[in-house]
Structure 1
Amino acid sequence: MSTLFHNAAPAQPATLARRILNQGRYEAGTMLRNGEQLVLMVVMPLLGLLALVFTPLLDGMGHPRVAIAAPGILALCALSTAFTGQGIATGFDRRYGVLRFMSTTPLGKGGLIAGKVIAVLVSLALQVVLISAVAAFMGWRPPLIGVLLGIPLLILGAAAFTALGLLIAGTVRPEATLAITNLGWILFAALGGIVLPAAKFSSSLDGIVQWLPSGALGNLMRAALIESRLDLWGLLVLLAWGVAAAIAAVKWFKWN
């Protein structure tokens, strides 16, 4: 018996990749079990899709309603999950000391952030499948080239909005994070060009919105999924926002 215990191999610690995957699984599960998050991530985008398809708001734009609505709603999913959802969750994790505690574990700060990114991508993938299935039932048939182009653009948008959400969550109080991210969601969704082209409202508003990350992502998704082309201006704007937000978050994020 003593020989068996003596020869038993010692338990090996989990690799960093395994720790990050486990953290990402935990973060994703937490997001998907939260009722408020599900309303923001699933119910609101679905209601938006139904409203746009069954009302005449998109008439006269040269394409079927669902063809214009679906790309914008998919972009809205990235905003909901990466910016509002992750920002609020991170802000309250910071308040209750979860971030400070987790950053001192073998997972580390980098692993904690990587886990959050994985959670965002998993949640976004589920949203995309659900919204796309409902839109397809309504007659949406996006071109294959546009789909292949839209997937990495949506991931880029999620990365940019995650960086913005983490910047806010790591620099202001949780109550302020809650207010800013929810207000941002409303403004971006209603007037930010993410769901509807800003030119639908006025040319002057379009001139402002095209500089916003919401307008850039909305234009990118519509160009890809309707016309199978890459909107270079939108790509540059979204990249600029993502890089700037990431640099600012790294510099000013407070773990306590």
Structure 2
Amino acid sequence: MNSADTHRFPNGTFTPEPKLAKSGKIVTAQAKIEALLFLRHGEQQLLSMVIPVAMLVGLSIFRVNDIADPVQRMFPMTLAIAVMGAGFTGQAIAVAFDRRYGALKRIGASGVPTWALIAGKVAAVAVVVVLQVLVLTIVATLLGWQPTWSAIPSGVVMLILGVTTFTSLGLLLGGTLSSEMVLALANTIWFVLLGSAVYVAMMGDSLAVVTRYALMMIPSVALSEGFHAAVTGAGINMWAMAVLLVWTFFGVVSARKLFRFTMESD
């Protein structure tokens, strides 16, 4: 080998230069992985798609409490339940078992910061929620609901708030406790949130104003009532938005501070 061959490549050409990828690429890659895993999971689809659709059809056909337009009342409620199932229960359980089996430890070791993991999961839930909204909207339309363009802006605002709120709360629960506790608590809390939203929706206008505003401090009720205001053309429900903003702040700040990639047993 002559001297010319030894200098074919400039010095440093093959020197490793590890560095963190751009924030946008990290979040996009994480969101893609999370969305694909979510869509392949049967239990996740049951909570976030099958149950909301079944409730929309059942409660719209079999009228309860003499609601004048059951579809218009139940459609926003099932949207809230779908968002809650995808963002809160689904993420909490998935994250807890990812931590248990060391999946998140490997993600953390790859250089993905906590904020990027949270942002990626929120983005993945947003993708899933868009599909949920499309399916539920089609079902509601077939049941007689008439969509209006004026409902879209306020509906999108509530949708973004709902996704952020429930995903951050799901990450807070799934990222701090053991998988067994998360499994029990996530399902229990889901039933409580579900029951609260269904109760307020089924009571309709017969519910006292003070009671309604008090129950709207529960995030599922706030999101349901926020969607209802959007669907009926009333614009943004400011009280519902304020409640969701408070829950979002609590969830994001707490999750960023307390989230752990591993469990104590690791």
Question: Quick check: TM above 0.5?
Answer: yes
1:216 to 195, 213, 222: 222
* Partner of residue 173, structure 1: 178
2:251 to 229, 236, 245: 245
CA contact (8 A) 2:118 2:171 kept: no
Q: In the aligned structure 2, how far is the partner of 1:15 from the partner of 1:100?
A: 21
* Partner of residue 25, structure 1: 32
Q: In the aligned structure 1, how far is the partner of 2:200 from the partner of 2:93?
A: 22
1:54 to 34, 37, 61: 61
* Partner of residue 44, structure 2: 37
Q: Report SS of the residue matched to 1:117.
A: helix
Superposition deviation, residue 39 in structure 1: 1.0
Superposition deviation, residue 158 in structure 1: 1.1
CA contact (8 A) 1:84 1:185 kept: yes
Q: In the aligned structure 2, how far is the partner of 1:138 from the partner of 1:66?
A: 7
Superposition deviation, residue 46 in structure 1: 0.7
Superposition deviation, residue 16 in structure 1: 3.5
Gaps of 5+ in 1: none
* Partner of residue 235, structure 2: 229
Superposition deviation, residue 18 in structure 1: 2.3
* Partner of residue 154, structure 1: 159
1:191 to 196, 207, 224: 196
After superposition, the CA RMSD in angstroms is 2.6
CA contact (8 A) 1:75 1:194 kept: no
Give 1 or 2: higher helix fraction.
1
CA contact (8 A) 1:220 1:235 kept: yes
After superposing the two structures, state which structure 1 stretch, 110-119 or 199-208, moved more. 199-208
- Residues 6/195 of structure 1: CA separation in 2 closer, same or farther (3 Å cut): farther
Q: Report SS of the residue matched to 2:64.
A: helix
Superposition deviation, residue 197 in structure 1: 5.7
- Residues 193/48 of structure 1: CA separation in 2 closer, same or farther (3 Å cut): closer
CA deviations 1:35-92 (Å, max 9, x no partner) are 11111111111101111111111533x4x21111111111111101000111111111
CA contact (8 A) 1:72 1:221 kept: yes
CA deviations 1:2-49 (Å, max 9, x no partner) are 8xx959x98998643223212211110101001111111111111011
Normalised to the residue count of structure 2, the TM-score between the two structures is 0.85
CA contact (8 A) 1:194 1:219 kept: no
Identity level (%): 33
Structure with larger Rg: 2
CA deviations 1:135-188 (Å, max 9, x no partner) are 111121132111221012111111011111111112211111111111111111
Task: Tell me the amino acid that sits aligned with residue 43 of structure 1.
Answer: V
Normalised to the residue count of structure 1, the TM-score between the two structures is 0.88
* Corresponding pairs, count: 251
